[in-house]
Structure 1
Amino acid sequence: MKYTGQCHPPLGPVNDPVKIGNVLRPVADVDAAMRFYIGTFGVAMKFVDGDRYAALDAGGTTSALAGPTAEQGPHEVRAVARDPWGNTVVIYGPR
């Protein structure tokens, strides 16, 4: 299917641009991923929670790196799973 630039069914008019505040990226090694993104793209570190989670400032959007295990950390309870299509799903909430 070729993208035509139109939604079916059509959506109403869009008055304000979308702002994405947080993008979560599951990673096998939070420390290695953090060093890669900081070294490669020059993003700034906002917050690190051990080997469980790191938040990077990607110019107004938080790029969050989440470790691979379901875990209770000092700030959250989190589970990582894959849907039937292979997409990673992360469910988390405050502790």
Structure 2
Amino acid sequence: MQSVDLGQLDLGQVIYPVREMEPCVAFYRDVVGLQLKFRDGDRWAAFRAGAATFALAPGAGAAGAGATAAFRVADLAAFAAALAARSPSPVPAIARGAHELTLTLADPSGNAVILYQPLAKPAG
């Protein structure tokens, strides 16, 4: 059996199941601020997410069945302020963890979305 170097694998995309495409496309484009790069009606929507693609596809039943996308931002407080100006819903408070600041949202289909800013590592 040939060995595969897993260090050569790059995440290509994350796909979220959605109940209704249009409100979710609007949420990720207009509220979260991702750039829509491709849309195929109600069958598929793909957004630029750094080197990867964040995509939406029709899904049966409940969303959020196991996967959560986390988007790294340079300044979470500034991002949260801009988000509050774009969001029709109140923006939750930023939580401080041991290694990062996080802001957790839910899209119109109930999928969790985490925005995070790593905390500076202590010297030494």
Aligned to 1:65: 56
- In 2, Cα distance between the equivalents of 1:59 and 1:30? 22
- When the two structures are aligned, how many residues end up with a matched partner? 62
Where relative contact order (Cα < 8 A, 6+ residues apart) is larger, the structure is 2
State the TM-score, normalizing by the size of structure 2: 0.41
Higher-helix-fraction structure: 2
The percentage of counterpart residues that share the same residue type is 34
Give the 3 Å change call, closer, same or farther, for CA 46–87 of structure 1 in structure 2. Answer: same
Structure 1 moving runs of 4+ over 6 Å: none
Question: Any idea what SS the aligned residue of 2:19 has?
Answer: coil
Matches within 5 A, 1:38-53: 38-53=29-44
Per-residue deviation, 1:24: 0.7
Contact 2:16 2:55 in 1 (8 A): yes
Task: Name the residue aligned to 2:11.
Answer: 20
Which position in structure 2 is the counterpart of 1:56?
Answer: 47
Unaligned runs of 5+ in 1: 1-13, 69-79, 89-95
CA positional deviation for 1:16: 3.1
| Unaligned residue ranges in structure 2 (runs of 5+) | 68-124
- Provide the alpha-carbon RMSD of the alignment: 2.9
Whole-Å separation in 2 of the counterparts to 1:17 and 1:25? 24
What is residue 77 of structure 1 aligned with on the other side? none
TM-score, normalization by structure 1: 0.52
